[in-house]
Structure 1
Amino acid sequence: MTEPQEIEPRMDHLVYAAPDVDALVAEFTERTGVAPVLGGVHVGRGTRNHLVGLGGAAYLELIGPDDPTARPLPDVFGIDRLTAPRLAAWVVRPADLDATVRQARERGYDPGDIAPLSRRTPDGDLLQWRLTPNRGDRFGGLAPALIDWKDARHPTEGGLPQVRLLSLAGRHPDPPAVRNALAALGVALDVTPGPAALEAVLDTPRGPVTIS
């Protein structure tokens, strides 16, 4: 059995985006043998997600347009520019979101203003949280978004189907710049030179699966 590498302990979730979320879910299920469950529709965003647990309090979010035929497509996580699935972002849950944003700015990196978001679950419940926006300089997704779930029930508390996250790493043409942003946020990610991309390796019933 492949042993997982050390991963940022405050990681909340990975964001796997595509212009057609139903096709993405079908492809993921075929590759891994694990079927993501419907998370719900993001209020006012035009997107829908499906979820898989990654072990502990972390999960994988598969996201795309709620209606893939609608135009324009949502610009969330660059969905309107995608022609194929992409591991678009990772999200970290700090102990104090406001303090982390202030600290990052003092250290020379601005993660963006904090904004409220919400999602309606299939049961009709409304989950509400706070998130730094997915705009601004995220270095191609390598600098994480920051989340505060407030009093909402965390998605991993709902008994998600599971795969295991073995590793998460990034590539970027300017690794030192990314490392400076990560240091300002107080988070860790292995970054090597190359075209900007995140890469995760999952341990699944059908063996290791890489998504990027």
Structure 2
Amino acid sequence: MLDHLVYATPNLDTTVAEIEQQLGVQMVEGGRHPGLGTRNRLLGLGGRAYLEVIGPDPDQEQPPVPRPFGIDTLTSARLVTWAVAVTDIDAVVARARAHGYDPGDPQDMSRRTPSGDLLTWRLTPPATAGVVPFLIDWSTTHHPTDSGLPKAELTSFRARHPDVEAAQRSLSALNVDLDLTHGTTPTLTAVLRSTPGSLTLT
């Protein structure tokens, strides 16, 4: 099940302003990621799915390691990856490995919301390019959509990949469905719609 789309940007405020203008919907502050040098804004996509726009946090010191999702090398915003929600992430990883795909070892993550609540989750290492999602397990913590995010409708989510068969094998090992066709480079495309307008993220 789709958990969230990750739209990475070199300038969070600028990108969020562009999205809000196109959709006529105000995004909400997600929170900061201490030590990673990033912060995010969120927009609901219906159900327990959401869009995460993530970029550098100017209020944090330069992190000792590169920011996630290739943010440090971006020159423009890009839909870099997506996450699938699972329960018992260790079992899902073991099953995927048994079917020939290794999602990586789950990592513990956390952030505080603007209201001070601590969210904790576990995830497999996200790729900065490709169409295969990373896994996320929220366990007993509150899901970001539980706070009632402002919403836009996700009307389309699809991908292109130069080796469709290989990508499909990895998706199948995770028991994930995705509209996948051939393309020269791995590309994700999502179409969002609201009453005022629509927006395509690539």
Q: TM-score, normalised by structure 1?
A: 0.89
**Runs of 4 or more consecutive aligned structure 1 residues displaced over 2 Å after TM superposition:** 68-75, 205-208
1:29 aligned onto 2:4? no
* Secondary structure of residue in 2 paired with 1:183: helix
Quickly say closer, same or farther: Cα 1:125–1:68, change in 2 above 3 A: closer
Q: How many residues align?
A: 200
Equivalent residue for 1:143, pick from 122, 132, 150: 132
1:74 and 1:206 map into 2 onto residues whose CA distance is 37
- Which residues in structure 2 correspond to 1:154-169 (within 5 Å)? 154-169=143-158
- Which residues in structure 2 correspond to 1:23-62 (within 5 Å)? 23-62=14-53
* Secondary structure of residue in 2 paired with 1:206: coil
| 8 Å Cα contact 2:157/2:190 also seen in 1 | yes
| 8 Å Cα contact 1:19/1:68 also seen in 2 | no
* Secondary structure of residue in 1 paired with 2:45: strand
Equivalent residue for 2:196, pick from 195, 198, 206: 206
| 8 Å Cα contact 1:34/1:205 also seen in 2 | no
Equivalent residue for 1:133, pick from 108, 122, 125: 125
Superposed CA RMSD in Å reads 1.7
- Which residues in structure 2 correspond to 1:1-212 (within 5 Å)? 10-67=1-58, 74-135=66-127, 140-194=129-183, 195-212=185-202
Q: Which amino acid aligns with 2:171?
A: L
| 8 Å Cα contact 1:109/1:181 also seen in 2 | yes
1:95 and 1:151 map into 2 onto residues whose CA distance is 10
In structure 1, runs of 5+ residues without a counterpart are 1-9
1:40 and 1:74 map into 2 onto residues whose CA distance is 19
CA offsets 1:20-41 (integer angstroms, 9 cap, x no match) = 1111111111111111100100
In structure 2, runs of 5+ residues without a counterpart are none
Q: Which amino acid aligns with 1:37?
A: V
Identity %: 53
Q: TM-score, normalised by structure 2?
A: 0.93
2:45 and 2:78 map into 1 onto residues whose CA distance is 18
Q: Which amino acid aligns with 2:116?
A: G
